[in-house]
Structure 1
C-alpha cells in the first residue's frame, strides 16, 4: 500500500492541493477576525480548520465546516475520535487478534445494517456514518469518467491506475492496485491521522509564540521580508523558503511530540501548518494569559482544555 500511496504525497501532487489549503486558511483568518481582540480557545478554531482542509483536499467536499459551528460532519468526526480513544472490547479484539479482524468487522457491519433499518443513518455510530459518506464519495468518483478536482481521492485513484500498468506488473510480485474498500479505509485513516494531530500542533505552536515574543517577532520579520504586506501571494512554493519557520515547527514537535515523524502524510501536514502559521502570524499577535496547559493522554498527547490565547489584530 505504501508503494502505491507514496506518489500521492509527492511535491508535484501536494502543489496541486496548495490553493485549497490557502483558501481554508483564509477562512480561518476571516472567522478569527470576526472575534476581534479577545481571549480565544484557538483549539476549537484550528480543529475546524484542519477538518475543513481534510474534507476539501481529501474528499473534494466543501461542507462549510469553519462557518457552521453545528456542522454534522464535524460533530461526527469529533465523536469518531473520542471512540478511538476509548475502544470497546470488539475493537481490542480486532487490534490484537488479527486473524479474527475481518470476522469482527463483518459482524459489526451486519449489526449496523440491521440497526439502520430502524434508525436514521445520521444517528448511527460515527465510524459507520463516516464510512457510509466516504463510500458514497468514492463510488461517485469511480463512476465519473473524468474529474477536474485535484483532491486526495482523485490522486489516489490515479496512482492506483498508474501502478496497474504493464511496466509495474512484469518485475514485481506486489499487488499493483488498491480495491475500492482499501481506498475508503485509507481515506478514513488519512482523516484520523491528520485531524487532531495537526490542529494540536498548530495550537501549541501559537502557544509557544505567545510566551516567546522574540520568536514571534523573528518569524514575522522573516515572512514580511518576503511578502511585505501582500500575503495574497502565499502558495505551496513560497512557504517552503522560510527556513526559520521550518525549524520553529520542528522544535515545537520536539517539545510536544503528537505523532509519528515517519507518517506518510507528514509532508501534507507540514504544508498545512506552514500556510496556516504564515497567515496567522501576518494577521495577529499572540499574547499569553495566565493559564497553564494541562495535557491528557489518548491516542496521542493533547491539551485537555485546548489552548486559550489573547489574539490581537495587527495594524
Structure 2
C-alpha cells in the first residue's frame, strides 16, 4: 500500500513538473514570439519612406531619429536636415513616420486644399487617442474637432474680444505700474512678461483675478511654467509612450492614476503633476460657476452656455450631427475644462515668448524703437486728443503691425506644432501618403528663405518686408499655422502683444545693458521655441 501511494505521488510529481515546465516553455516561447513580431512591426514601419521613395537621415532601430531631436531642438534639427535632404524628406519618431516639408505648394495642398484628408495633428506623447474626451481643440480630430471649432470660433470674434478690453486694460496698466517701480534697474524681462501674460490670460479665461504680477511666488504661475518644463524635458513617461506608441493610452492611464494617487497621498503640491493641478483648479472654477450660477464676460461663459451634461449624450449627438451634415454647438463640461487648460497654457507661453523676443529686438535696435514711438506720438497725441491705447485703435498702427510680424517671422512657433496627420489615403505632389503618416512644416527654413524674404537678408530684422504692397504665398508665413486648423486665438494674441508694446513704448525707453545678448543662439523647445539666453534690459522713463 505504501509503495502504491509512493508511486502515485511520484507520478503526480512528474505530471506536475511536466505541466509547470510546459507552461513555462509555452509562456517563454509566447513572449519571444510577441517580441519578435513587435520588432518585425517596427522594422516594417521604419521602411515606409524607403517604399515611398523619400530620403531620410540615418536612424536607429526602435529609437528612430528621436534621440537627435531631443538632444537638440526640433526646429534647428529640421532646418539642418532640410539643407542636407532637400525640401521634402522623412524621419521617424520612434517608429512613427513623419514627412518634413518646406515646399510651399506641398504645404498649401495639405493644409488647405486637402485639409479634409489631414484633419488631425500628429500623435503627441501625451495624447490618449483621437476620440478621447480628455482632448482639447488642439489635439482633437475629425468630427470632434469640427464641433469644438464651431463652438470656439465665436469666442475669438472681434465683437467678443472687444468685451475683454477692460480686463486687458486693467492687467496692462498693472504691468506698466510694476515696470514703473523697476526703472533704471537691470531686469530679466521674461520674468515680468510671464507674469503679465498669465495675469491677462487667466482673467480673460475665467474672470478670476489671481494678480500674479504682484505675487512673485504665485502658484498658478509656477505650475504653468512647470508644465512647459515637463514638455521640453519630455519626462520619462512621455518618452516611453514615444517609443511604444501602440501602448500609449494604457501607459497614459497608468500615469494619470499614479498622479491622482500622488495628489491624494501628498500633503504638499510639490509632488503633484503641474498639468493635473491646473486641470483640477479649472474644474473647481467650472463647478463653482455651475453651482452658484455665476455669469461673467469671459471665455468660460461662452463654452458653458454651449454645454451638455454628459459624454454619452455627446456621443449620441455627434452621430446625429454627422448624419445630418450639420454641427450642433454643444460641449461636455469635461471638454470645456480641457479646452480652458489648453487655452491658458497656449495663450500664456506663446505671447510671453513673442514679447520677450520683441524686447530683445528693441534693446538691440534703438532705431526701431524710435520709429514705433514716433508712430505712437503721431497717432495718440495728434491734435492734443490724447487717445487711450485700446483694441479699437491699436490695430491701426501700421508700423507696429509690421514690427510684430517681423518678430514672429524671425522667432516663429515650434515646428512641432505646425503639422497634420493623414486620415485618408491620398496623393500630394505625386507622393502617395498612407493613413497615419504625419506632415510637419520646417517653419524656420521657410521663414529664412532668401528667395521668399529677400532682397534684404532674412537674418536682418527688417519690418518693411511686410509692406502692404508686397505679396507672398499664404504658405510662406506660419506663426499661427495655416488653413482651417490655424491658431484659433490668433486675434487675441496679436491684440495682447500690440497693446503691451504700445503701452510700454509710449511710457518707457528700452535700453540694453552689458548683459543683453547681441544674438540669440541657444533655444529650448517643447510646444514653444524659447531662448535659453537670459535677456536683461533696462527701462528708462520716457520724456515726451
Q: TM-score, normalised by structure 1?
A: 0.89
Matches within 5 A, 1:68-217: 68-92=215-239, 100-120=247-267, 122-123=269-270, 124-147=272-295, 149-159=296-306, 171-172=324-325, 174=327, 176-217=329-370
Query: Any conservation in 1 of the 2:156–2:488 contact (CA below 8 Å)?
Result: yes
Q: Which of structures 1 and 2 has the bigger CA Rg?
A: 2
| 1:172-221 Cα shifts (integer Å, max 9, x gaps) | 35464221111111112112212222111112112212222222112112
Tell me if 1:298 matches 2:517. Answer: no
1:253 to 393, 397, 408: 408
Comparing 118-127 and 250-259, the one that deviates more:
118-127
Distance between the aligned counterparts of 1:91 and 1:175, measured in 2?
A: 34
Q: Partner of 2:215: helix, strand, or coil?
A: coil
For the 8 Å contact 2:306–2:331, the answer to whether it is kept is no
CA-CA distance at 1:249 after TM superposition: 0.1
Q: Distance in 1 between matches of 2:149 and 2:536?
A: 38
Could you tell me how far apart the structure 2 residues matched to 1:117 and 1:255 are? Answer: 45
- Paired with 1:95 and 1:10, the residues of 2 have a C-alpha distance of 37
Match of 2:444 in 1: none
Q: Is the 8 A contact 2:304 2:333 kept in 1?
A: no
In structure 1, how many angstroms separate the alpha carbons of the residues matched to 2:534 and 2:305?
38
**478, 485, 498: which one pairs with 1:274?**
498
Unaligned runs of 5+ in 1: none
Please list every run of 5 or more consecutive structure 2 residues that lacks an aligned counterpart in the other structure: 1-147, 309-313, 415-478, 482-486
Change (3 A) 1:33 1:268: same
TM-score by length of 2: 0.53
Matches within 5 A, 1:7-86: 7-86=154-233
Aligned length, in residue pairs: 310
Residues 1:314 and 2:542 aligned together: yes
Farther-moved stretch of structure 1 (1-10 vs 220-229): 220-229
Q: Specify whether residues 20 and 118 from structure 1 end up closer, same or farther in structure 2 by C-alpha distance, changes over 3 A only.
A: same
User: Measured at CA, do residues 159 and 223 of structure 1 come closer, stay the same or move farther in structure 2, by a change above 3 Å?
Assistant: farther
Is the Cα contact below 8 Å between 1:200 and 1:302 reproduced in 2?
A: yes
Question: CA 1:186–1:101 in 2, change beyond 3 Å: closer, same or farther?
Answer: farther
Q: State the shift of 1:73 in Å.
A: 1.3
Counterpart CA distance in 2 for 1:12 and 1:160 is: 21
Greater relative contact order, per chain length (Cα 8 Å cut-off, separation 6+): 1
Structure having the higher helix fraction is 1
Q: How far apart are 1:275 and its partner, in Å?
A: 0.7
User: Aligned pair in 2 of structure 1 residues 272, 137: CA closer, same or farther (>3 Å)?
Assistant: same
